[in-house]
Amino acid sequence: MKILVPVKRVIDYNVKPRVKADGTGVDLANVKMSMNPFDEIAVEEAIRLKEKGAASEVVVVSIGVAKAQETLRTALAMGADRAILIQTDDEVEPLGVAKLLAKVQEEEGAGLIILGKQAIDDDSNQTGQMLAALLGRPQGTFASKVEMEGDAVSVTREVDGGLETVKLTTPAIITTDLRLNEPRYASLPNIMKAKSKPLANKMPADYGVDISPRLETVSVAEPAKRSAGVKVADVDELVAKLKSMGVAA
Amino acid sequence: MKTLVWVEHEGGAVKDATLSAVTAAAKLGEVHLLVAGESVAGVAEAAAKIAGVGKVHVADDAALGHALAENVAPLVVQLMADHDAFVVPATSNGKNIAPRVAALLDVMQISDILSVEGEDMFTRPIYAGNAIATVKSKDAKKVITVRGTAFEKAASEGGSGTVESVTSTGDAGLSSFVGAEIAKLERPELTSAKVIVSGGRALKDGETFEQLIFPLADKLGAAVGASRAAVDAGYVPNDYQVGQTGKIVAPEVYIAVGISGAIQHLAGMKDSKTIIAINKDEDAPIFQVADIGLVGDLFKVVPELTEKL
């Protein structure tokens, strides 16, 4: 069984984003970029399934600027077998990404597609579900445990009240939650080896789907600032504050 | 504009998140509801009483019992022939179902909206809440998930909706529900609590977390939350997690104990009305958002605070 893992190049999660003064977006010039943390977990899970003998090949795919190659090389260094870059300078929305990925899946015929549950830049949490819909396949979102059971996959999901387990027929789409696994670091020899692994360059036009944006970003603003707080000297003062707010009797 | 709101329910009762979604939907136009599930006549009756609600569509079918997206989405798509917007609370069920519906309708979803600025304009947080985007949808039909804490709850009484049953589209045969492990909560639910006491990694272990945080929460009638560090370290189960990847909360009072205030955590709580931080590191980022800060050792401060309340 082949596993397909879409990955996204995003602002590093440790960086505090700055809104551009003209309100057109977030300033990404000279900002450290990395693989979306949920996607690292997806790559790790795919590699673990391969190590267990449940998968034969792990293919990673990214849609974005030429530099997204670096993100794909990182995934190859972690252990993925080959990569596909669908290169575009335009911003592609989750619906467009899902349409492109559906075409990639038509070519690849993977048994599982594992994605991160959301990207930490647009915070949409849509692509996996949309891809499942377009392919007419089942979805196991917010996964904290994945187990192959013959032709099916059992997925434990993180839901509001706790955990829930569903069984999906394959091919299936899985989106990862944080607790699914701890992604490995790529070793230096593996980083070197990754440079010679195959990376196919494609364009959105190769897939013949309409990815023109449906949402127009009118403006991007800083969130309202909180007014400066006060420090209290001791517990008595804090208790008095809580009482004055009516929180404590 | 005719909106269809997906009713989130549990144990035969409508969940509060639905009421916030109804408020958002009412800003767009006429509000219809969809109650889907197994043996949901009671839920439909309760839903019809929500203020401002018109038609309540009820689909009662075992295949809809566990809100599996594969079975719910086709039903919604069928109903969307007669509606202009599908509005869903941004709960784990809502986030699971709505994008599947959006793709089947070939529209882009607008996730986690904070406000309705017009019938096709909305604001939503991006970059873990560090920026607020105003977006305009060009799609004919809208699929929207609603951040519950950003909208007042519609009154759960006073409405007079008409209940109408719809035929389920049945079981898609792609997925099945195996089981659930629902964490038992003796305290208020995080997302609807007025007061939240949250603990971080500084609590050392699960036992200490329980000994210090739970009694304080109980004194205040508060829900208990946690930072991702505390959850990852295994002090409490993951459904306690507040943050970009956990629950988004906005209580009257949020008390952060031993939490440094990483952007991931702030994304989940910085809309709280009053934030109180207790931390021994006076340079901790949490103090930049806290209205009231107490610099001190939580192992001394928290028991003293619990005692004096």
- What values do phi and psi take at B21, rounded to 5? -65, -35
Q: Which chain B residues are Cβ-neighbours of A167 within 8 angstroms?
A: 175-176, 178
**Count of C-beta atoms within a 10 Å radius of residue B81:** 8
Contacts of A117 by beta carbon, 8 Å cutoff, 6+ apart: A38, A125, A128, A141, A142, A175, A176, A177, B245
Going by the DSSP 8-state scheme, the letter that residue A198 receives in this structure is: -
Q: Shortest Cα distance from A63 to chain B (angstroms)?
A: 18
| Confidence band, pLDDT 50/70/90 cuts, at residue B234 | very high
At A83 the pLDDT is: 98
Going by the DSSP 8-state scheme, the letter that residue A161 receives in this structure is: T
Lowest mean pLDDT among A47-51, B91-95, B115-119, B236-240: B236-240
Q: Does A114 touch chain B (CB under 8 A)?
A: no
| Digit-coded pLDDT (tens) for A80-93 | 999 999 999 999 99
- Partner-chain contact A221 B178, CB within 8 Å: no
The average pLDDT across B285-300 equals 95
Q: How far is CA A185 from the centre of its chain?
A: 17
The average pLDDT across B170-188 equals 90
Q: Shortest Cα distance from A190 to chain B (angstroms)?
A: 28
| Digit-coded pLDDT (tens) for B160-174 | 999 999 999 999 999
B184: pLDDT strictly greater than 90: no
At A225 the pLDDT is: 84
| Confidence band, pLDDT 50/70/90 cuts, at residue B239 | confident
Please give the residue of chain B at the shortest CA–CA distance from A178: B245
Which A residues in the span 187-206 are in contact with B, Cβ-Cβ below 8 Å?
none
| Digit-coded pLDDT (tens) for A183-235 | 999 999 999 999 999 999 999 999 999 999 999 999 999 998 888 799 999 99
At A247 the pLDDT is: 83
At B226 the pLDDT is: 97
| Digit-coded pLDDT (tens) for A2-58 | 999 999 999 998 888 999 999 999 999 999 999 999 999 999 999 999 999 999 999
The average pLDDT across B132-138 equals 98
Q: Shortest Cα distance from B229 to chain A (angstroms)?
A: 12
Q: Which chain A residues are Cβ-neighbours of B296 within 8 angstroms?
A: 234-235
> Could you tell me the CA-to-CA distances from B162 to A60, B5, B49, B50, B85 in Å, in that order?
50, 15, 9, 11, 19
- Partner-chain contact B103 A95, CB within 8 Å: yes
What average pLDDT is seen over chain B? 95
Measured distance CA(B51)–CA(B241) in Å, rounded: 32
Q: Shortest Cα distance from B38 to chain A (angstroms)?
A: 17
> Could you tell me the CA-to-CA distances from B223 to B159, B197, B282 in Å, in that order?
30, 6, 26
- Interface with A, mutate which of B68, B77, B95 (most A CBs under 10 A): B95
A224 exposed, middle or buried (CB, 10 Å; 0-12, 13-18, 19+)? exposed
| Digit-coded pLDDT (tens) for A119-164 | 999 999 999 999 999 999 999 999 999 999 999 999 999 998 889 9
Contacts of B270 by beta carbon, 8 Å cutoff, 6+ apart: A223, A226, B129, B289
Tokens of B246: 């956990």
For residue B109, give the nearest of A126, A161, A220 by CB distance. A126
Q: Does B110 touch chain A (CB under 8 A)?
A: yes
Q: Does A248 touch chain B (CB under 8 A)?
A: yes
For residue B136, give the nearest of A216, A222, A239 by CB distance. A216
The average pLDDT across B102-113 equals 98
SS3 assignment, position A131: helix
At A54 the pLDDT is: 95
Q: Does B81 touch chain A (CB under 8 A)?
A: no
Assess whether the previous peptide bond of B237 is cis (omega < 30° from 0). Answer: no
Q: Shortest Cα distance from B118 to chain A (angstroms)?
A: 13
Please give the residue of chain B at the shortest CA–CA distance from A124: B111
| Confidence band, pLDDT 50/70/90 cuts, at residue A245 | confident
B60: pLDDT strictly greater than 80: yes
Sheet holding B274-279: strands in order across?
Answer: A230-232, B292-295, B274-279, B253-257, B195-199, B223-226
First-residue to last-residue Cα distance in chain A: 62
At B244 the pLDDT is: 85
